[in-house]
């Protein structure tokens, strides 16, 4: 009916005027949200990139020296370390690349130096920015300073700021650092292969067999999403550590290292792979299987020629998602990695352990490359995916088969045991008084206020962060998605916005967090005041989890015909009214999905916030990390399980609310 009305209306300037005002509002709205993404994503990343090129360098020409003879008289000859170095070749160019904390003594430039000699030295900076230390006294300025030999040996040159590739040269000439690239790639690849294989057969069992308890298995498979990634690491310590319950199973190998990282990664990435592959396997055309059967193809051959090709996009996508999760994860290798260095932990070590922010930025840049690469391939594959189901397709229905159903059931039980086992071990460990010497049950490990990490306050902070992130994030993301989906024209702007919305997925949490330090902790930044507050944690979490939320919103919005907008326009209703009265209620299930996704992730994330929390805003997930770091492993497990229960409860509430909401707002869907 609306169509008819619209076409019968004469195109009048008034209508056009109304439309354009709405358009202006929408474009402005889009501009605001794009600005949000630029300020919270593009600027910080830029700040980080420039930090990685900010180097420190010893400026040998920045000092002048005079050496007296044994009687203390100076010949007047003025030396510079640069001159001496070109004669003596004490240092190479690489030795001059420094960190902010580097020092370099001057005595190597004087081969016949002796601290007992009566020879005296004079030294000065040639520039105002030059600095050197005598002992630990900082000397600046260009005045000559006279020192005896014994004091002269305590002179240390300090590096000056410069710009260049120095940090990168330093990085790649330090084997302990760049070995991490190999290590990270290795565990990411192994974990990906294992997880995708396991998840594929699990999804296959759930979609293509007639075994029982599918609902239960689906539930169990999703459980790891509710815990921080480092929790399986803690469970593995209790299972396979030196005092482990079943350490014999490792036959003497150490769980601290690649083995532990891979097992833990499989645990926490399993649900992600499972969802994607399950979706791919859920839809299939039965006619292909009929054709295969009528061609007398063996089940094995059918599997390779029909099933796998049908699920290939899902498999590839799952593989890259898992790869990305593993290579960017920080909590797990921190807990169980032992001596096996990976990139994400290197960033932490550089920044927290050595306050070497520049090198932290360099490792971040290195880590972003594989992450963006994996992400780009995933997007490319997804965009190539075409509809497998046409109107004429017949949905595939599995037929009962006692033998295969039995095998798959056993398989699923094993996987479920693995997942439930890991969680069970953590809960068990949390309740034991003092493993392994006092096995009585007690709640002492829940006395978080006695431990480092912020105590129970951090738990409440986490819930606060989860709620704020869910509310603020859902509003920003959904509104942004609506604007980008429903704005007329303005193609370039919309395409740019889409690109920005995709970017957070490719940026590892550690990198984003570090970038936030560089950007927001800069005193000249007017947004500096949010540094160290809950606000920066919320902003970081919203930005970090923007992409998936955005895609969920876009998918929901795509289901709504654009004619709604046309109708509201023809009824002279402002778009914003349509948005609040029609669009939001219709999309409410997706809105709720987005908010629960944001809540759960804000509760579990470690990497994005580890550089940003302050003593007043410590978080539960960080407390798990810090308690484990301090050696309080049982309380760490206890806190990790608190996160699990909270998230599980949030899920249940979400389920109940969704049901109620569905009944109220989605009644029109049923006929």
Residues that bind another protein (CB under 8 A): 98-103, 105, 133, 135-138, 140, 154, 156, 158, 174-177, 179-180, 183, 237, 241-243, 254, 256-257, 334, 338-341, 349, 351-355, 357, 434-438, 450, 452, 521, 523, 614-615, 629-633
**Sequence-ordered list of residues with C-beta below 8 angstroms from that of 124, at least 6 positions apart, any chain:** 63, 64, 141, 142, 143, 144, 145
3-state secondary structure of 77: coil
Q: Do strands 137-139 and 132-134 pair parallel, antiparallel, or not at all (unpaired)?
A: antiparallel
Nearer to another protein, 59 or 485 (CB): 59
Of 58, 65, 56, the C-alpha closest to 84 is 65
**Sequence-ordered list of residues with C-beta below 8 angstroms from that of 26, at least 6 positions apart, any chain:** 483, 486, 487, 575
Least CB distance to another protein at residue 242 (A): 5
What does the alpha-carbon distance between residue 34 and residue 26 come to, in Å, rounded to a whole number? Answer: 12
Ranges of beta strands (E only) in 356-505 are: 432-434, 438-441
Least CB distance to another protein at residue 109 (A): 16
Residue given tokens 């989906």 in the structure block: 485
Nearer to another protein, 314 or 360 (CB): 360
Contact 238, 425 (CB under 8 A): yes
Least CB distance to another protein at residue 645 (A): 25
Q: Centre a 10 Å sphere on the Cβ of residue 129 and count the other Cβ atoms it contains.
A: 11
Nearer to another protein, 305 or 525 (CB): 525
Nearer to another protein, 68 or 254 (CB): 254
Least CB distance to another protein at residue 521 (A): 6
Least CB distance to another protein at residue 272 (A): 27
Nearer to another protein, 156 or 658 (CB): 156
Token representation of residue 333:
């290798």
3-state secondary structure of 142: coil
Nearer to another protein, 115 or 304 (CB): 115
Least CB distance to another protein at residue 629 (A): 5
Least CB distance to another protein at residue 131 (A): 8
Omega of the bond leading into 44 within 30 degrees of 0 (cis): no
Nearer to another protein, 159 or 480 (CB): 159
Residue given tokens 């709604």 in the structure block: 564
Least CB distance to another protein at residue 136 (A): 5
Least CB distance to another protein at residue 336 (A): 11
Nearer to another protein, 241 or 504 (CB): 241
Nearer to another protein, 99 or 509 (CB): 99
Contact 633, 234 (CB under 8 A): yes
Least CB distance to another protein at residue 609 (A): 14
Question: DSSP labels for 255-302?
Answer: STTHHHHHHHHHHHHHHHHHHHHHHHHH--BHHHHHHHHHTT--HHHH
Contact 158, 133 (CB under 8 A): yes
Nearer to another protein, 23 or 452 (CB): 452
Nearer to another protein, 153 or 218 (CB): 153
CA-based diameter of the chain, in Å? 109
What does the alpha-carbon distance between residue 281 and residue 276 come to, in Å, rounded to a whole number? Answer: 9
**Orientation of helix 214-222 relative to helix 402-431, angle to 10°:** 40
Per-residue buried b or exposed e for 28-50, using 16+ beta carbons within 10 Å of the residue's own CB: ebbeebbebbeebbebbbebbee
**Orientation of helix 588-604 relative to helix 455-486, angle to 10°:** 140
Least CB distance to another protein at residue 454 (A): 9
Of 541, 180, 510, 182, the C-alpha closest to 328 is 510
Least CB distance to another protein at residue 179 (A): 5
Least CB distance to another protein at residue 135 (A): 5
Nearer to another protein, 114 or 174 (CB): 174
Nearer to another protein, 298 or 339 (CB): 339
What does the alpha-carbon distance between residue 141 and residue 66 come to, in Å, rounded to a whole number? Answer: 17
What does the alpha-carbon distance between residue 580 and residue 475 come to, in Å, rounded to a whole number? Answer: 12
């Amino acid at each position: 009916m609306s169509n008819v009305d619209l076409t019968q209306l004469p195109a009048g300037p008034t209508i056009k005027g109304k439309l354009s005002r709405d358009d202006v509002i929408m474009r402005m709205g889009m501009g605001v949200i794009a600005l949000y993404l630029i300020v919270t994503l593009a600027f910080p990343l830029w700040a980080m990139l420039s930090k990685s090129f900010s180097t420190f360098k010893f400026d040998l020409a920045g000092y002048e020296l005079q050496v007296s003879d044994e009687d203390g008289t100076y010949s007047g000859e003025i030396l510079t370390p640069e001159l001496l170095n070109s004669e003596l070749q004490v240092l190479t160019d690489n030795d001059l690349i420094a960190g902010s904390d580097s020092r370099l003594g001057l005595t190597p430039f004087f081969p016949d130096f002796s601290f007992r000699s009566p020879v005296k030295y004079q030294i000065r900076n040639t520039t105002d920015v030059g600095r050197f230390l005598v002992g630990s006294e900082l000397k600046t300025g260009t005045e000559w300073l006279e020192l005896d030999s014994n004091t002269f040996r305590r002179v240390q040159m300090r590096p000056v700021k410069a710009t260049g590739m120095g940090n990168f040269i330093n990085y790649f000439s330090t084997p302990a650092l760049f070995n991490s690239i190999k290590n990270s790639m290795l565990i990411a690849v192994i974990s990906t292969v294992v997880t995708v294989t396991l998840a594929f057969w699990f999804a296959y069992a759930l979609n293509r067999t007639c075994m029982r308890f599918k609902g239960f298995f689906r539930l169990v498979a999703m459980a790891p999403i509710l815990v921080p990634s480092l929790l399986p690491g803690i469970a593995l310590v209790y299972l396979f550590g030196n005092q482990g319950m079943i350490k014999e199973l490792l036959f003497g190998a150490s769980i601290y290292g690649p083995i532990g990282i891979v097992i833990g990664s499989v645990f926490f990435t399993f649900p992600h792979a499972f969802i994607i592959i399950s979706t791919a396997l859920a839809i299939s055309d039965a006619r292909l299987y009929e054709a295969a059967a009528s061609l007398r193809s063996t089940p094995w051959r059918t599997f390779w020629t029909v099933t796998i090709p049908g699920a290939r996009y899902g498999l590839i996508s799952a593989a890259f998602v898992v790869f990305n999760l593993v290579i960017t994860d920080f909590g797990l290798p921190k807990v169980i990695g032992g001596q096996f260095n990976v990139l994400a932990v290197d960033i932490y070590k550089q920044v927290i352990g050595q306050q070497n922010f520049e090198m932290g930025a360099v490792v971040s840049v290195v880590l972003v490359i594989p992450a963006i690469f994996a992400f780009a391939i995933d997007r490319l594959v997804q965009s190539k995916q075409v509809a497998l189901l046409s109107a004429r397709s017949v949905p595939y229905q599995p037929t009962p088969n006692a033998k295969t159903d039995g095998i798959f059931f056993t398989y699923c039980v094993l996987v479920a045991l693995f997942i439930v086992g890991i969680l069970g071990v953590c809960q068990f460990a949390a309740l034991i008084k003092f493993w392994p010497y006092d096995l009585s049950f007690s709640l002492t490990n829940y006395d978080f206020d006695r431990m480092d990490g912020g105590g129970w306050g951090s738990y409440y902070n986490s819930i606060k962060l989860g709620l704020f992130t869910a509310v603020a994030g859902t509003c920003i993301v959904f509104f942004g998605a609506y604007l980008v989906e429903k704005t007329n024209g303005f193609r370039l702007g919309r395409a740019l916005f889409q690109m920005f919305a995709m970017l957070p997925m490719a940026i590892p949490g550690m990198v984003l967090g570090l970038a936030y330090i560089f950007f927001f902790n800069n005193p000249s930044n007017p947004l500096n005041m949010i540094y160290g507050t809950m606000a920066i944690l919320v902003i970081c979490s919203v930005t970090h989890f923007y992409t998936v939320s955005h895609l969920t919103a876009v998918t929901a919005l795509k289901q709504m015909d654009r004619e709604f907008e046309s109708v509201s326009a023809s009824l002279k209703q402002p778009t914003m009214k349509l948005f609040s009265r029609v669009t939001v209620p219709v999309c409410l299930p997706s809105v709720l999905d987005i908010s629960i996704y944001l809540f759960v992730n804000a509760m579990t994330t470690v990497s994005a916030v580890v550089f940003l929390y302050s003593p007043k805003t410590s978080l539960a997930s960080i407390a798990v990390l810090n308690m484990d770091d301090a050696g309080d492993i049982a309380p760490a497990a206890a806190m990790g399980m608190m996160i699990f229960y909270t998230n599980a409860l949030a899920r249940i509430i979400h389920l109940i609310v969704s049901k109620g909401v569905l009944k109220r707002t989605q009644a029109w869907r049923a006929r």
